[in-house]
Amino acid sequence: MDRIEITTFAPAEPGAFDAAVARLSPAAALQARAAYGEIAAAAGRGLRRLQIGAGGRRIGLAQVLGRGGLWLCSRGPVFAPDLPEEIRRRALRALARALPGLLIATPEVPVAGFGLVPLVTARHQALWDLTPEDTALRAALQGKWRNRLVAAERSGLRVKVEPTADWLIAAEAQQRRDRGYRALPPGFVAAWAQRDPGSVLVLSAGTAGAPRQAGVMVLRAGAGASYHLGWSGPEGRAAGAHNLLLWQAALRLRAQGVRGFDLGDINSEAGAGLMRFKLGTGAAVQALGATVWVLPGRG
């Protein structure tokens, strides 16, 4: 059995880390991307990018963020496809051994076994496969979801690509306060756009008399994209604007080469209605790995 080796990811040129991640997993999560780590580092977190090797080849990459001796690897490490669970377990333990402190990880796919202490049960994400043709994508929509989309398309709503996001961030922040949920700070979007220009898609839906009845924001990274935030006013909710916006976002992303659209968490505390809405697109449920405390070990 090949020994697992952990080394610092050496190439420093812009784009090198993201390119290496994409070779392992083209639709890797935002948390595995260089911009995410750089934003966290600018906010005072420690940042390390590590290469996981075995048998003379790269089998994984890890971006870990630290503070006060505690390191976090969220939605990672990014591993080569079809890597056996035992190899991934050993790699995590070798990664913990290479860090000066404690490692907490939430792997993208489930992994368990000796040396991995579960802290939080596995979460589930709604992942929308955008590789089929447009007609096949539409046919895969669940009936009620598609009916709402058709009604929105016939309502007179028009979808517009917005040049700025300030209005949507402000509207969603008020919605968040009203409903009592949490999200990344507003400055995250500006920082992401600065590091990856053109990767933020903002859409609005409205009419001539009320041009902004609803909006969505999507962050793109390589062949993957993540739903970041959304807002609907009373008129937008009544017209099914969010169905129209999400569908139009999917078509635009697909045209840009995006293969996977992460619609976010679908666990029960988020509400059954939101879960049904996300899965109504035809998105598949993917179980992430449990959040684990990784005990150091030899690879």
Domains of the chain: 4-123+288-294 (3.40.630.30), 132-258 (3.40.630.30)
pLDDT tens digits, 2-13: 899 999 998 778
Instruction: Evaluate whether 221 touches 199 at the Cβ level (below 8 Å).
Output: yes
> CA–CA distance from 89 to each of 63, 145, 254 (Å)?
17, 40, 34
Question: What percent of the chain has a predicted confidence (pLDDT) above 90?
Answer: 80
* Residue 93, CB-side half-sphere exposure with 13 Å CA sphere: 20
Top pLDDT among 18 and 181 is at: 18
pLDDT of residue 268: 60
pLDDT averaged over every residue in the chain: 93
pTM tops 0.95? no
Calpha distance 230→215 (Å, rounded): 6
Instruction: Evaluate whether 225 touches 29 at the Cβ level (below 8 Å).
Output: no
Please compute Rg for the chain using Cα positions: 20
pLDDT tens digits, 84-141: 999 999 999 999 999 999 999 999 999 999 999 999 999 999 999 999 999 999 999 9
Report DSSP letters for 173-200, one per residue: HHHHHHHT-----THHHHHHHHHSTT-E
